[in-house]
Amino acid sequence: MGDVSQCRSCGERIMFIRMKSGKSMPVNPTFVNFKKNPGGKDRIVLPSGDVIACDANVSVDEADGYGYVSHFATCPMAGKHRNKRGKM
């Protein structure tokens, strides 16, 4: 896991997790408890770099683990950074 940094768009604190692909994903630096749910609507980035479907923000008693929320999901300026593939 990386050092805490600052989003250049919104100014919020972020950190980077190295994904299995080798790329780094910006995440919010606060831990989020989750319960595994393959059909869940939430996505959590694990410290290992995996992304899983789950139910996020559950109590510690029912949690299967913890992870991070992608900063792309919460940044008000995320659309500014989206890759416009095929657009020229």
Query: How many whole angstroms separate alpha carbon 55 and alpha carbon 53?
Result: 7
Percentage of residues of the chain with pLDDT beyond 90:
77
User: Which pLDDT score is estimated for 4?
Assistant: 87
Average pLDDT over residues 38-65: 95
Contact residues for 8 (Cβ-Cβ < 8 A; gap 6+): none
Q: Which residue has the tokens 């805490």?
A: 4
Query: Of 25, 23, 24, 28, which Cα lies nearest the Cα of 10?
Result: 28
What DSSP element (H or E) covers 70? Answer: none
What does the pLDDT look like over 55-85, one tens digit per residue?
A: 999 999 999 999 999 999 999 987 776 666 5
The token duo for 64 is 């299967």
